[in-house]
Amino acid sequence: MSTLTLTPTKMRHGVWQGQIQQSGSGVPQIKVTHLGTDVPDVQVSEGGEDGQWMMQVPIPAAAIADGVQVFVITDATDGEQLGQFTLIAGEALGDDIRGEVELLRAELDMLKRAFRRHCVETT
């Protein structure tokens, strides 16, 4: 079992950031992969408090594409997955999301009508 706990913090200017809490000693060995390939230039630096580390993952330009892109973060010492983050982009995906929202709205309208009908019938 890993001695590391990962907490995502933010993504800004093409760099994903997270905080690592470590119960062991030494610099945490972190590996980030995208589509089975290691993401280069991952940085882990001391976070100020004992056992805390800050992690920065620069998003490679080649990984920014239509669809869903998943980055997997693992403890390189034992291979345990600590977390992941996802990028979603593209017009085709936007159509899918809009369609799902429309279906949810239609279901909500149906539930509202049924609830109102129930309230009228029980009073």
- Percentage, residues of the chain above pLDDT 70: 95
Specify the pLDDT at position 88.
84
In this structure, the strands spanning 81-89 and 37-38 are: unpaired
Q: Which of 55, 48, 61 is nearest to 20 (CA)?
A: 55
Which of the four CATH numbers 3.30.1490.110, 2.60.40.10, 1.20.140.10, 2.40.160.20 does domain 4-89 have? 2.60.40.10
- Per-domain boundaries in the chain: 4-89, 90-123
Mean of the per-residue pLDDT values of the chain: 89
Q: Using DSSP bridges, classify how beta strands 15-22 and 52-58 pair: parallel, antiparallel or unpaired.
A: antiparallel
What is residue 89's predicted lDDT score, i.e. its pLDDT?
A: 83
pLDDT score, position 6: 94
- Name beta bridge partners: 38: 33
pTM: 0.72
Q: How far apart are CA 73 and CA 65, in angstroms?
A: 20
Confidence of residue 94 (pLDDT cuts 50, 70, 90): low
Distances (CA, A) of 98 to 29, 92, 101, 108: 40, 10, 5, 15
